A and B are shown apart, each in its own frame.
Chain A
Amino acid sequence: MSEQNCLVRNEWVCGEYLRTRSQELVDATVQHVGITVASVVIGVLISLPLALLARRRRAFAAPVLGLTTVLYSIPSLAMFSLLLPLFGLSPALVITGLVLYSLTILVRNILAGLQSVPEEATEAARGMGYGPLRLLWEVELPLALPALLAGVRIATVSTVALTTVGAIVDYGGLGTLILGGLDSDFKAQVLTASVLCVALAVLADLLLLGLQRLLTPWTRATRGRGPRPRRRRVAAAAPALPEPEKVA
């Protein structure tokens, strides 16, 4: 009987809510994951050529990095609203906004990864007769992969959190449930959706970490073998600046 009543008493934690509204939660989670995955995938597809161009031409690098940084400081609610006349109320609106945010992190990380490829490696590959495309695909991209995937992880985690703001146009996944719960003062719905959202971010981060370890086995090869000269040199060369934050 207490289970039935927790909905009536409007408690924060409510088993009855989970049972009766599981379909709603699943639908919102699926929408949330779909929007996040689409945004990050499109973001990677756009930022890879941008980073390659920025590396080749210095004149191109400054405007790309500058513009994406400016976009990054626009509040998410304003970003979605500014895109409203272009897309109307649609998932494309939310995805476009999230892609624009992900570009800042992704372009910087891919660029840093490509620039950290040792000169000797590319020289050796060229000497072996590698053309530019094969050099990129077989030497440079694999060596840039750790930095690239680190960027994807950061972009994914912040995108999961930012997707909730899409609730303003009804395409915020779990955020739609959170906002709906506020309007109807429905505590169990707000808490459950919030917890699911954080769990989703943590899960995505762990999955990508696993992928990173699978794809870059050589980064672990030196572990536990006394001094690690390579790691130390990379650490010294890497910029100490923390990643920019994006939570709103």
Chain B
Amino acid sequence: MNAISGACDWLSTSANWQGEKGVWHRLAEHLYFSGVALGIACLIALPLALWLGHIGRGGALAVNVSNVGRAVPTLAVLVLLTLTPLGRHGDVPTLIALVLFAVPPLLTNAYVGVREVDRSVVEAARGMGMSGGQVFARVELPLAYPLVMTGLRSAAVQVIATATLAAMAGEGGLGRIITAGFNLQDTPQVVAGAVLVAALALVVEGAFVAVGRLCDPMRGRA
């Protein structure tokens, strides 16, 4: 209980929120890393996965990327990238690692989403005279939407979580508050940082669920 009241004290001390090592600065770093990485990952993974799903090839690739991703330890990749010559370029190793870990859920979900669209619906659309592009835009994409959004949500949570680990490899972000707490043997600060990180992950998850529902093309239809 001591640690919890200590964490509350830490969080309510305004000095801990200001400056280079303050919460606001770390939060901004965290969101910057995550946002940029998620954007790049979407640009790489979504067009590829949607196209592969549309033409119906490369399924083994799309699914296996996800399984391989699970076996690779995030921390190891971060540390390895930091020790390579890339490590001298500040944010680059972190961004590469984050993109690497955001791609699998995006790729797999978008591919499976398009592939799982009922073939008879696609046949019907073709029978109505739709071209390949029309079938994709008006039939496959709206029906694949829920799974594409699920992938986007897992990728976002994944990126937020991995950006936390970047702190262990010496980069910035909210995780830095936790690692600094460990170095100072300051348990209240560790717990306060953990609460902030957990809250951010849950808020981002919730935000993506809400946005996904609002933008659903099938909303209000049967």
Question: Could you tell me which A residues sit within 8 Å of B by CB distance?
Answer: 70, 73-79, 81-82, 84-85, 154, 157-158, 160-162, 164-165, 167-169, 172, 175, 178-179, 181-182, 185, 187, 190-191, 193-194, 197-198, 201-202, 205, 240-248
Contact = CB atoms under 8 A, between A and B. Distances in A.
Interface of B: 2-4, 63, 66-67, 69-77, 79-80, 82-83, 101, 104-105, 108-109, 112, 116, 147, 150, 154, 157-158, 160-162, 164-165, 167-170, 175, 178-179, 181-182, 187, 190-191, 193-195, 197-198, 201-202, 205
A240 B116 CA distance: 7
B61 to A, nearest CB: 14
Given A82-B191, A82-B195, A241-B150, A161 B179 contact: no
A75 B161 contact: yes
B125 to A, nearest CB: 20
B108 A161 contact: no
Given A178-B75, A182-B79, A245 B70 contact: yes
B178 A194 contact: no
A198 B108 CA distance: 21
Interface residues of chain B: helix, strand, loop or mixed (majority): helix
Contacts of B202: 70, 73-74
A241 B112 CA distance: 8
B70 A248 contact: no
Given A74-B198, A161-B74, A248-B162, A191 B80 contact: yes
A161 B70 contact: yes
A78 B194 contact: yes
Contacts of A248: 74, 101, 158, 161-162, 164-165
